[in-house]
Homo-oligomer: A and B are copies of this chain.
């Protein structure tokens, strides 16, 4: 029998308890061992819950119980969660988490600690909810030299953008609707400002390129600057506005990682990813492009990814799973400012002036455009070159185009 403790009985934690219980026979058969939920740690009591007899309030009970071999951390944040994770690993327990903030900020240290103690630290659920991506990246695509990861990593912002595109809602109205439907939190900052997507691209890039990449190394722009005017111009040129997290390995080995809205060509499979769905494309030298697609969040999809990791840890109690990357550092990343791409620009400037500054510009029209704005697509250039050419112009929006 393998005993499991869950830390935190919120959305994901209660989903894990539910999946572990509901599919217990099936899970036991696959693991070749019974998987037993022994404790749930929460500050609250849940007297009416079917798990009422499992609640404890003191982490030390779990830490000091040698029968507990796997700890599921669904507390979130990088403080208490970090302390409990370190203590669990030090006590020789494998830890499974959905906590992207903790992995993005301290993944390297925690993986090193797990290695020292010969236990597993697994976090499939930290990126893409129920979409399998961490394991495919680390195992299935292992034969490839990976060159780029690019994805729609946040369901809340994709829902908002989809509603702006499909229903013509303003950003504020779409955000409100997302909150009413439970797709956005009361404080939506982490989603709409891109922080959530930033943590996820950090984890994916660390795994794909082998060195820890910290959120502070990844310039991040959210979707609060995207307007219906931009959505309209994008539509006029057969493109959709999507918030993308990207990490590109340059020939010199450095990684250019950033989060920003992009104009994505309608033919690109990422353009068809709508509502709260996520999709992640991976480019490798041998494999070409592979895409993973599914619900990026939600109680049961995320819980199912956590439980798959629990099962994996249960099958490998004595042979820790390799999941590993090297230390971070300033030499790991490079600013996206040097990355060339075509740009979409909307500015208070007349077409004649644009033609003078960008002879190659393609002009865009949209229904209801006001006379004092001009929107256009530029040729391929760096951010610095773009800013130089736009010097003195009042820029309303400037987004990269995703080019294949």
Beyond contacts A23-B143, A290-B293, A290-B295: 20 other A-B pairs, Cβ-Cβ < 8 A, are: A15-B286, A23-B145, A23-B286, A124-B140, A130-B287, A130-B290, A131-B290, A132-B140, A135-B135, A139-B311, A142-B307, A142-B308, A143-B304, A143-B307, A269-B272, A269-B293, A284-B304, A286-B300, A286-B307, A287-B304
A288 touches B293 (CB 8 A): no
Report the separation of the CA atoms of residues A147 and B269 in the bound assembly, to the nearest whole angstrom: 25
User: Would you call A312 an interface residue if the criterion is a C-beta within 8 Å of the partner chain's C-beta atoms?
Assistant: yes
Within 8 Å CB of A19, what residues of B? 143, 286
User: Would you call A247 an interface residue if the criterion is a C-beta within 8 Å of the partner chain's C-beta atoms?
Assistant: no
Enumerate A280-322 residues with CB–CB distance to B below 8 Å.
284-295, 298, 300-301, 303-308, 310-312, 315-316, 319, 322
Enumerate A115-152 residues with CB–CB distance to B below 8 Å.
124, 130-132, 135-136, 139-145
Question: Which residue on chain B has the smallest CB distance to residue A132?
Answer: B140
User: Would you call A26 an interface residue if the criterion is a C-beta within 8 Å of the partner chain's C-beta atoms?
Assistant: yes
User: Would you call A30 an interface residue if the criterion is a C-beta within 8 Å of the partner chain's C-beta atoms?
Assistant: yes
Report the separation of the CA atoms of residues A130 and B146 in the bound assembly, to the nearest whole angstrom: 13
A130 touches B292 (CB 8 A): no
- With A136-B135, A311-B143, A315-B322 already in contact, the answer to whether A294 and B289 are too (CB < 8 A) is yes
Within 8 Å CB of A131, what residues of B? 290
Question: Which residue on chain B has the smallest CB distance to residue A272?
Answer: B272
User: Would you call A27 an interface residue if the criterion is a C-beta within 8 Å of the partner chain's C-beta atoms?
Assistant: yes
Question: Which residue on chain B has the smallest CB distance to residue A32?
Answer: B322
Question: Which residue on chain B has the smallest CB distance to residue A135?
Answer: B140
Number of copies: 2
Interface residues of A (CB under 8 A from B): 15, 19, 22-23, 26-27, 30, 32, 124, 130-132, 135-136, 139-145, 269, 272, 284-295, 298, 300-301, 303-308, 310-312, 315-316, 319, 322
- Closest Cβ of chain B to A203, distance in Å, is 16
Report the separation of the CA atoms of residues A301 and B19 in the bound assembly, to the nearest whole angstrom: 35
Show 27 residue pairs from A and B whose CB-CB distance is below 8 angstroms, ordered by the A residue.
A15-B286, A19-B143, A23-B145, A26-B145, A27-B143, A130-B288, A131-B290, A132-B141, A135-B139, A135-B140, A139-B311, A139-B312, A142-B307, A142-B312, A143-B306, A143-B311, A269-B272, A269-B293, A286-B304, A286-B307, A287-B294, A287-B295, A288-B295, A290-B293, A291-B291, A291-B292, A315-B322
Question: Which residue on chain B has the smallest CB distance to residue A310?
Answer: B143
Within 8 Å CB of A319, what residues of B? 316, 319
Report the separation of the CA atoms of residues A145 and B306 in the bound assembly, to the nearest whole angstrom: 15
Within 8 Å CB of A295, what residues of B? 287-290
Which 9 A/B pairs are nearest by Cβ-Cβ distance?
A: A132-B140, A143-B307, A286-B304, A290-B294, A291-B293, A130-B287, A132-B136, A286-B300, A143-B304
A298 touches B288 (CB 8 A): yes
Which among A130, A132, A272, A288 has the highest number of chain B CB atoms within 10 Å? A132
Within 8 Å CB of A135, what residues of B? 135-136, 139-140
Report the separation of the CA atoms of residues A294 and B287 in the bound assembly, to the nearest whole angstrom: 9
B140 touches A308 (CB 8 A): yes
Within 8 Å CB of A312, what residues of B? 139, 142
Report the separation of the CA atoms of residues A286 and B16 in the bound assembly, to the nearest whole angstrom: 10
Report the separation of the CA atoms of residues A301 and B289 in the bound assembly, to the nearest whole angstrom: 9
- Closest Cβ of chain B to A304, distance in Å, is 4
Report the separation of the CA atoms of residues A322 and B288 in the bound assembly, to the nearest whole angstrom: 28
Question: Which residue on chain B has the smallest CB distance to residue A131?
Answer: B290
Report the separation of the CA atoms of residues A397 and B246 in the bound assembly, to the nearest whole angstrom: 46
